[in-house]
Amino acid sequence: MNPTLLVSGCTKGIGLAIVNIFSANGFNVAGCARNTAELNELHTKLSNTYPNQNFFFETCDVSRTDILKQFAHKALNHFKSIDVLVNNAGVFLPGTILAEPEHALEFQFQTNVASAYYLCQIIGKNMLENGHGHIFNICSTASITAYTNGGSYCISKYAMLGLNQVLRQELKDKNIKVTAVLPGATLTDSWKGTDLPKERFIPAEDIAKLVYNAYTLSPQTNVEEILVRPILGDIG
C-alpha cells in the first residue's frame, strides 16, 4: 500500500516541487490550491505518469476555514490515512505595520497560520490514530529575521514557527515528527517579474529535496528545523 502525502498550495513553487519528488518515490498525493485548471492539469499529469498511485486534488481557498476543513475530511475519507502533511500554502502582501491596508494582518494570518493550525488538528489526529506521521511546516527566514516592508507577513511567519515549536513538543512522544522549513529567497511566483537572475535564488526543487531527505531518516531521528538561504545570502 502506497504512503500518502497531503500538501496545501500544491500547484506552484515549493508545494509543486514537493508533490513531484514524493510522487516519484511512490506516494499517493492529496492537495489543494485555488486554481482549478492548474489542479486538473496536475492530476492528469501525475495520473498518467504514475498509474499505480492515487491522486486527490480539490479547489480550496485555505483562508476559508470551513472550506479547508471540508477538504481535509474529504482527503481522509478518500485515503483513510495521511502519512506526511506539508503546510505550504501562503501569501505575501508587502507593507509596513503603520501603513498596511485594512485586514492585511487578518488575511495573512488566516492563510499562513490558521490554515496550518486546522490541517494539523485534523490530519494530526489521524496520525495519532495510526501511531506515526511527519508534519512539515513551510515557514521562512522571515520567521526569524524581521525586515522592512515585511509587516504582517513577518508576524504571520513568526507565528508559524511558534506553531511548529508547540506542535513538536506536543507530539515528540507520540511517534509523530515535526519539522520547520525556513527557506530564504526561493524562485517561485512570489518573485515573478523580478530583474534578478535566477542564480540569485534557491530552486524550489532544492527545498523539496531537503524535505524528502528529512522524511527518509531513521525513525528515531527528527530534523527540527531546516534553514536554507541563497549562497549570497538573503535578498533585500
pLDDT tens for each residue of 105-150? 999 999 999 999 999 999 999 999 999 999 999 999 999 999 889 9
Tell me the C-alpha distance between 214 and 224, whole Å: 9
**Does residue 236 belong to any structural domain of this protein?**
no
**Does residue 88 belong to any structural domain of this protein?**
yes
**Does residue 235 belong to any structural domain of this protein?**
no
**Does residue 74 belong to any structural domain of this protein?**
yes
List C-alpha distances in Å: 73 to 80, 125, 168, 176, 184.
Answer: 10, 11, 23, 20, 32
For residue 192, the model assigns a pLDDT of 67
For residue 87, the model assigns a pLDDT of 98
For residue 193, the model assigns a pLDDT of 64
Query: How confident is the model over 55-80, as a mean pLDDT?
Result: 98
SS3 content of the chain, % helix, strand, coil (to 5): 45, 15, 35
The grid coordinates of residue 111 equal 492563510
Q: What's the pLDDT band for 200 if we cut at 50, 70, 90?
A: confident
Q: What is the pLDDT of residues 110-119, one digit of tens each?
A: 999 999 999 9
Q: How many domains does the chain have?
A: 1
Nearest to 211 by CA among 144, 135, 140, 158: 135
**Does residue 17 belong to any structural domain of this protein?**
yes
**Does residue 57 belong to any structural domain of this protein?**
yes
Residue 162 sits in a domain whose CATH number is 3.40.50.720
Q: Does residue 199 surpass a pLDDT of 90?
A: no
**Does residue 218 belong to any structural domain of this protein?**
yes
Q: Does residue 14 surpass a pLDDT of 70?
A: yes
What contacts 46, CB < 8 A, 6 or more positions away? 19, 23, 29, 53, 55
The grid coordinates of residue 37 equal 485548471
> Which has the higher per-residue pLDDT, 195 or 99?
99
| % of the chain surpassing 90 pLDDT | 91
Q: What's the pLDDT band for 190 if we cut at 50, 70, 90?
A: low
| % of the chain surpassing 70 pLDDT | 97
What contacts 123, CB < 8 A, 6 or more positions away? 6, 72, 76, 82, 85, 133, 135
Q: Does residue 196 surpass a pLDDT of 90?
A: no
Q: What's the pLDDT band for 171 if we cut at 50, 70, 90?
A: very high
Structural domain for 32, as ranges: 4-228
For residue 77, the model assigns a pLDDT of 98
Q: What's the pLDDT band for 198 if we cut at 50, 70, 90?
A: confident
Beta-carbon count within 10 A of 206 CB = 16
Q: Provide the Cα torsion 101, 163, 204, 226; round to 10°.
A: 130
Computed over every residue of the chain, the mean pLDDT equals 95
Q: What is the pLDDT of residues 204-236, one digit of tens each?
A: 999 999 999 999 999 999 999 999 999 999 886
CB 9 within 8 A of CB 71: no
**Does residue 153 belong to any structural domain of this protein?**
yes
